[in-house]
Amino acid sequence: MADTMLIEIEQKDRMCILRCKGRFVAGPEMEYMQTKLDDIKRLACIRVLVDFQDVTSIGSMGVTFIVGVYTSVVRKPGGRFVLAAANHLVQHVLDLTGLSTVIPQSPDVASGQAVLWGETPMCTPPAVHTSAAQ
């Protein structure tokens, strides 16, 4: 099934790239997601890029995953985290939850990697004003 959640972890030096695919919503994948979060923590990467290019939707479980990875990384000395290539549906959830003001983001993987290596400053999308955010 194309919407099944998939998280592939690629490690280069002390940088991890998480290639995420499918729907990041509550369901039978909860244990899978927790296992992947534990794997990421064990790798002890201080730079993490989360590629959301192929994520079709996100719910509370997906938000919890992002926050879990983000906090585990930025608590380490020199820890840097970037979420790359979020589509408009995912971006809307990040805006509604306020995470778009906290989680550094980039429009694509290449610019996210540049941010992680300090070649460009940390980036976040411009503030989005919605009538639901009150």
Q: Taking all residues of the chain, what is their mean pLDDT, rounded to a whole number?
A: 87
Confidence band of 87 (pLDDT split at 50, 70, 90): very high
Mean pLDDT, residues 121-134 taken together: 46
Cα separation, 58 vs 50, whole angstroms: 14
Determine which of 18-22, 41-45, 124-128 has the lowest per-residue pLDDT on average. 124-128
Cα separation, 115 vs 105, whole angstroms: 9
Cα separation, 22 vs 43, whole angstroms: 23
Mean pLDDT, residues 58-82 taken together: 94
pLDDT, greater one: 128 or 109: 109
- Cα of first residue to Cα of last residue in the chain, in angstroms, is 37
On whether the CB atoms of residues 49 and 113 are closer than 8 A, the answer is yes
Nearest partner of 114 among 56, 20, 36, 47, judged by Cα: 47
pLDDT the model gives residue 32: 92
pLDDT the model gives residue 35: 93
Q: Per-residue pLDDT tens for 45-65?
A: 999 999 999 999 999 999 999
Fold of 6-116: Transcription Regulator spoIIAA (3.30.750)
Confidence band of 131 (pLDDT split at 50, 70, 90): very low
Percentage of the chain beyond pLDDT 90 is 69
For β-strands 80-84 and 15-24, DSSP reports them as unpaired
* Residue 27 reports pLDDT greater than 90: no
Rounded alpha-carbon distances, angstroms, from residue 122 to 5, 39, 103: 28, 25, 10
Cα separation, 104 vs 112, whole angstroms: 9
* Residue 1 reports pLDDT greater than 80: no
